[in-house]
């Protein structure tokens, strides 16, 4: 805006301060012409209508995106509620592992679901614990060696989280065949809720 000539800047400021100006002088709307990269010269009214249509289209796309997110969030909420009820009814660790694995694989198509206890004598697992999951969560890809150590085979991408220290060194991990399914920018709320549930249940067994 600083590059505008003084008189143009004054006109701009005046029009911003007086949005009813063209209502008082409607003939100006018909007289003014704006360049258009496809249609050549168009009137100010035509240009405004075009901009409004573009804005409406943009808003419709944003609303559609928000509705899709809301639908996905509701799906995850219902899944978590159902999973929580089933896990709370588990009577031993074996049953909990089975319920957790079956539900997550069925609902999301994960290839592997693991609860892994880490011992310092196992240097590879210990390194994964200390480095990969240093911040409490890890989303992304693993090396071939790490994949085989955690899941017994190569996988596309993974989500890993540490359980609380009260449970010792335990990793909760899931894997997808899709290398792009889990990535570092993902929100970890979903896995945090499962982790909290596991933290509550494991000391009971």
pLDDT-derived band at 49 (thresholds 50, 70, 90) equals: confident
DSSP code at position 133: T
CA atoms in the 13 A half-sphere facing the CB of 147: 17
Question: Which pTM was predicted?
Answer: 0.68
Q: Is the pLDDT of residue 45 over 80?
A: no
Short-list 128, 132, 99, 113, CA closest to 191 = 113
- Using 50, 70 and 90 to split pLDDT, how confident is the model at 1? very low
Query: Of the spans 39-43, 152-156, 164-168, which averages the highest pLDDT?
Result: 152-156
pLDDT score recorded for residue 33? 65
> Do the Cβ atoms of 201 and 90 come closer than 8 Å?
yes
Q: Output the CA–CA distances (angstroms, integers) from residue 128 to 76, 111, 119, 151, 173, in the order listed.
A: 28, 20, 11, 13, 12
User: 90-103, pLDDT tens digit by residue?
Assistant: 999 999 999 999 99
pLDDT of residue 72: 83
What is the average pLDDT value for the chain, to the nearest integer? Answer: 86
Would you say residue 143 has pLDDT above 90?
A: yes
From residue 5, alpha-carbon distances to 28, 33, 44, 68, 90 in Å are 22, 20, 22, 47, 75
């Amino acid at each position: 805006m600083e590059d505008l000539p003084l008189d143009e800047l004054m006109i701009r400021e005046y029009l911003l301060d007086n949005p009813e100006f063209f209502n008082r002088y409607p003939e100006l709307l018909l007289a003014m012409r704006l360049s258009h990269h496809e249609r050549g010269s168009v009137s100010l009214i035509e240009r405004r209508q075009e901009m409004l249509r573009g804005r409406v289209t943009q808003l419709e796309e944003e609303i559609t995106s928000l509705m899709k997110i809301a639908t996905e969030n509701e799906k995850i909420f219902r899944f978590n509620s159902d999973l929580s009820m089933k896990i709370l009814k588990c009577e031993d660790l074996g049953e909990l592992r089975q319920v957790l694995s079956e539900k997550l694989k069925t609902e999301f198509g994960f290839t592997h679901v693991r609860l892994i206890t880490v011992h310092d004598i196992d240097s590879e697992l210990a390194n994964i614990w200390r480095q990969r999951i240093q911040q409490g969560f890890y989303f992304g890809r693993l090396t071939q060696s790490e994949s085989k150590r955690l899941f017994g085979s190569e996988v596309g991408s993974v989500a890993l989280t540490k359980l609380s220290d009260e449970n010792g060194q335990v990793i909760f991990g899931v894997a997808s065949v899709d290398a792009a399914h889990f990535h570092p920018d993902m929100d970890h709320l979903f896995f945090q809720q499962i982790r909290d549930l596991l933290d509550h249940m494991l000391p009971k067994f």
